[in-house]
Amino acid sequence: MSDLRNQVVWNRLISIVEEQALTLVRIAFSTSVREAGDLSAGVFDADGRMVAQAVTGTPGHVNTMAAAVGNFIEDIGRDRIFEGDAYVTNDPWKGTGHLHDFTVVTPTFRAGRLIGFFACTAHVLDVGGNGYGPDSRDVHEEGLLVPIMKFAERGDVNRDLVNIVRHNVREADQVVGDLHSLAACNDTGRRRLDAMLDEFGLDDLDGIAAFVFERTRAATLEAVARLPHGTYSNEMRVDGYNDTVVLAVTLTVDADGAHADFTGSSPTCPYGINVPIEYARAYLTYAMLVALAPRMPSNHASLEPFTVSAPEGCILNARHPDPVSVRHVIGHFVTDLCLGAIAEALPDVVPAEGSGALWNFHISARPTEPGSGLPPREILMFNSGGTGARPALDGLSATAFPSGVRTMSVEATEQVGPIVIWRKELRPGSGGDGRQRGGLGQVIELGPTDGYHFDFSAMFDRVANPARGRNGGGDGAPGAVHLDDGTPFDAKGVQRVPSGRRLVLELPGGGGFGNPADRDPAAAQRDDEQGYLA
């Protein structure tokens, strides 16, 4: 095909995976998918290399899923891949980093020949065990691990697998429903691809995959070449599980790409904040692409030049059976860690540090009086602090960077369980001072409805170690967690909010950029008028 025709087909592939992702958003049961977009979707060639991904999704899902499909092919075996199949896993080391993410892979055939795969990932509400939180001491306590296996074979759903899942999770209808939703969205992609191949008279994906990979690889290496070859380093301190964690990186850049070595980072933690190395690679890759080529499509060729290493026993190289349930808390900091390493080389590009990790919390709401007849409920909510100020723009308030997931709305959260969100507002004064101001965090106040109390899993950071400013900018405000009477809570672990009381979350702000004395007076006045200042 001509280059122009190839470009048209490539654009169509992207539209197909976007429809695949939006199908999942429409039919998913979990609010984390429907409301926050915590998912990924993509199409792969017959060798398991990602050709195109949906814009809808997170780097932690997309970039790990890109490596996962090869694991599916190896474990299932090419001789056992049949038309009408669908495969599933939530193995943290062969999927996307923790048990709450299920990945489903569906082969696609044409005239009886395997031509590629569709894959998608979504965060499910519950996987049993100790629930979504950092308190488990190994992965076996964290819940049910489903190895790579067949969810369906030749169109017949594996009822034994569904039955096992149903009897090992707290919200069976939601979790089983999400597994079917994942398989269904892949089937949407498969049907649309078949129609597109008919339209363009193509037999397979080989030609378009070769075109995509050739163009993307050349553009990615050209972008990397803008960064002077050499070695860059950075170090960051974050809260960990109530014990400060050191993250360190040495980044080596050459003509073949960039390699991040995490030697010097803290050892693995006894609790579930550890990070499988493929998840760390996902957020290194994201850091490099947003700094060097923010418009670059994500596929096998754009991800391939970026590699990672870390010593065994490092918190960024968790091994089975290390606990990894909230691997995002530490993993999300990898982006700011690696951007900080190249900040001097790209002073007009790299922002100040932001709040980084999402302030997710999982609520287990239970009746205060046993035998009251009130049903128990599991509730998940995502929230974000402020991003770091950019060299020419203020930071974004209450915005998830680097994950990109949306904050769940009050209305969507309240309708799934017995809680009331009394207050959800920007947190004045939380953005670091600077020529450009850091993004603001938010204040959220919530409590159980009458007749309930709830236990919640705290998985918060930037309480003891706030986001650092850059180039003379001030630090962002640290976060805080407490009851409405001021009783402090820990930033990690399961804690109880009694009936009649409220939990208050004060989310951290992003660091400022540049000397505060250089801030535009008009911008400072606008901050004051809008109530952004303390």
Among 272, 273, 307, which residue's Cα sits nearest to residue 288? 307
Helix-then-strand count for the chain, H and E: 12, 19
Determine the distance from the C-alpha atom of residue 186 to the mean position of all C-alpha atoms in its chain, rounded to a whole number.
20
Q: What is the pLDDT along the chain (534 residues), one digit of tens a residue?
A: 688 999 999 999 999 999 999 999 999 998 889 888 899 999 999 999 999 999 888 899 999 999 999 999 999 999 999 999 999 999 999 999 999 999 999 999 999 999 999 999 999 999 999 999 999 999 999 999 999 999 999 999 999 999 999 999 999 999 999 999 999 999 999 999 999 999 999 999 999 999 999 999 999 999 999 999 999 999 999 999 989 999 999 999 999 999 999 999 999 999 999 999 999 999 999 999 999 999 999 999 999 999 999 999 999 999 999 999 999 999 999 999 999 999 999 999 999 999 999 999 899 999 999 888 899 999 999 999 999 999 999 999 999 999 999 888 899 899 989 999 999 999 999 999 999 999 999 999 999 999 999 999 999 999 999 999 999 999 999 999 999 999 999 999 999 999 999 999 999 999 999 999 999 999 999 999 999 998
Q: Side by side, which strands form the sheet with 503-506?
A: 419-426, 442-448, 503-506, 480-483
Among 452, 458, 441, which residue's Cα sits nearest to residue 532? 441
Contact by Cβ (8 Å): 293, 220: yes
The pair of structure tokens assigned to 97 is: 């980093």
Residue 119 pairs with which residues in a beta bridge?
42, 105
Tally of CB atoms within 10 A around 147:
10
- CA–CA gap between residue 81 and residue 278 (Å, rounded): 25
Q: What letter represents residue 283's amino acid?
A: Y
- CA–CA gap between residue 41 and residue 20 (Å, rounded): 7
| Secondary structure (DSSP) of 309-326 | E--TTBTTS--TTS--TT
- 40 — phi, psi (to 5°)? -150, 160
Residue 150 pairs with which residues in a beta bridge?
87
Residue 230 DSSP class: E
Residues in CB range of 127: below 8 A, 6 or more apart:
90, 99, 100, 142, 143, 144, 168, 169, 175
How does strand 480-483 pair with strand 442-448? unpaired
Quickly list H helices, 1-94. Answer: 3-27, 31-34, 59-76
Strands (DSSP E) contained in 228-321 are 230-238, 245-254, 257-261, 306-309
Strands (DSSP E) contained in 273-314 are 306-309
